[in-house]
Chain A
Amino acid sequence: MTPTKRNEILTLKSLGFLLLLFGAATMGGCASLGVQPWQRDVLAREDMRLDADPLDAAIDDHLYFSKEASSGGRSFAGGGCGCN
């Protein structure tokens, strides 16, 4: 007997997905959001970079790729290794 239990939250998840998508679309179009060039002091900090600590992220991604069914998100999803 194969497990066939379907999650009811499937629909909610799809909606959530679309909501995030819509949020991104509006966000991208907001020309009034943002800072002046001389206000980038905090944003220039090492820990504020979106790719801060890339090696930690790469090692973690490799671990999760080999133990889980999901990968990627921040970057491409391919694993490039035989561990899954």
Chain B
Amino acid sequence: MQLKPGARRPKAANARRQLMAASCALLGAAGARGQQSGTAPADSGLLEDWSVDSALAYYHENGRIRAIEPVVDVSKVFADGQALNLNATFDSLSGSSPNGALTSHTAQTFSSPSGKASHSYITAPGQLPVDPHYQDERIAVGANWTLPVTRVDQLSVGAKLSDEHDFFSVTVNASIAHDFNEKNTTLSFGISNEYDSLSPIGGAPVPGSDYALLEKTGGKTKDGVGALLGVTQVMTRIWLTEFNISVDRFKGYLNDPYKITSIIDSAGNTTGYEFESRPDQRTRKSAYWENRVGWSEQFSTALSLRYMSDDWGIRSDTAQLHVRWSLSDRHRYIEPTLRWYRQTAADFYTPFILSTQQPATGYESADSRLGAFHALTYGLKYAQKLPGLGSRPESEFSVRAEYYQQTFDERMAVPAGLSGLDLYPGLKAVLVQVGWRF
């Protein structure tokens, strides 16, 4: 059976323009006929394309430190898939901050970092030495641009600036994400670079130097680079998982310029202090795994685990669980959270130095944040949908509270003279936050 010869070539690309004109004529005529039945177009105010997320957090620690932190974050997605995100944070801290010295049976006098006689302070016997004049205000802004490069690749670049009295930081980062497997799998790779400039009040102390001598040098800097590799995978219709590994390395002045370490004699009396001394390099590696499961219309959970280890000898484990319970046809929800954290001490962490010995490496720090402790956070959040602004569908109002408690794990053997003192008071803090998203 012979088939007839194939199609003849139609008039070329011109055809399309004419086709477009023809369809416009068809639809334009149809539109004109139907005009009387149409309703007026909805108001599309400027606000409609931007979404805003804002929060105000209040933090209170041990009855000592108070902080207020308002945050605002705006985003917009453009028609071609590009997205812009801008955020700003203001952070005001005040109160008393531990200076690293050890509690003692006798009163201790410290000069303030500024060296002003009026700002020196005395710590009563048996009390943890804290600097009561601690005050700082910080403002930070950030921007992030996302750009679809191909149908399955997305590029993201961002920058952050943070400025406070004695510290300035700028960070830039970039990452790419590649979707495959019908967007069930996404592979991401990102790098970041942070540059910090410290200008401590009174100058940066020479590490390990005698506190009384107040040997200061000028401003200091540190620099960090980081890389992150991640995979996101849709496991089932209700289960999404993310796994990241990351590494970062910081170099430069890594000390806390305000922290000191007590030197004590065999009887437990404080004989002096020295400024802490940390290595000038720190490399950290971490692995992070998060799982989100939508068990039902009402319940969903997010469980994450993180393991971190660095070359200062610190290893940490973190586990965090959020359970969301949605009510009233998903108009409101309650979300309790629980977080467990544990870290080991840095190799050079020491709550005090015995005057008869020197630390092997020459590095030492009594900063409790480098010690061995575990922490628990209990949190509860409530959120409710509210009518939207203008032509937006809805907004969400939320309030949450968290209780954070740190407890020390390792107690060093202390000279008998210090028995009866609570040398590791730990930390208890409360965070309360209200949020509005529209």
Contacts and interface: CB of A to CB of B under 8 A. Distances in A.
Contacts of B346: 69
A7 B233 contact: no
Interface stretch (B26-34, B165-173, B211-219): B165-173
Interface in B337-382: 341, 343-350, 354, 357, 359-360, 364, 369-370, 372, 375, 381
A73 B95 CA distance: 30
Interface residues of B, number: 109
A59 B349 contact: no
Nearest to B333: A47
B123 to A, nearest CB: 21
A33 B233 contact: yes
B164 interface: yes
Contacts of B187: 28
A78 B240 contact: no
B164 A82 contact: yes
Given A48-B300, A54-B73, A27 B231 contact: yes
Contact of A74 (B292, B304, B316): B304
A68 B93 CA distance: 17
B285 to A, nearest CB: 8
B248 A28 contact: no
B386 interface: no
Nearest to A9: B315
A16 B305 CA distance: 12
A81 to B, nearest CB: 5
A12 B346 CA distance: 19
Contacts of A58: 71, 89
A84 B258 CA distance: 11
Contacts of B208: none
Interface string B175-201: 000000111110100101010101000
Contacts of B256: 84
Interface string A51-75: 0101110111011100111101111
Contacts of B234: 33-35, 43
Interface in A12-55: 13, 16-17, 20-21, 23-24, 27-28, 30-31, 33-37, 39-43, 45, 47-50, 52, 54-55
B286 interface: yes
Interface of A: 1-3, 5, 7, 10, 13, 16-17, 20-21, 23-24, 27-28, 30-31, 33-37, 39-43, 45, 47-50, 52, 54-56, 58-60, 62-64, 67-70, 72-84
Given A47-B326, A50-B240, 14 more contacts: A13-B309, A27-B233, A47-B333, A55-B54, A55-B71, A69-B314, A72-B246, A73-B244, A73-B306, A74-B288, A76-B226, A78-B171, A82-B164, A82-B198
Q: 9 nearest interchain CB pairs?
A: A34-B184, A82-B167, A73-B288, A24-B243, A78-B194, A73-B306, A42-B294, A76-B192, A70-B308
19 contacts: A3-B345, A20-B289, A28-B231, A33-B184, A41-B237, A43-B234, A47-B326, A50-B240, A55-B55, A56-B55, A62-B91, A69-B310, A70-B286, A72-B286, A74-B288, A77-B246, A79-B169, A81-B140, A83-B93
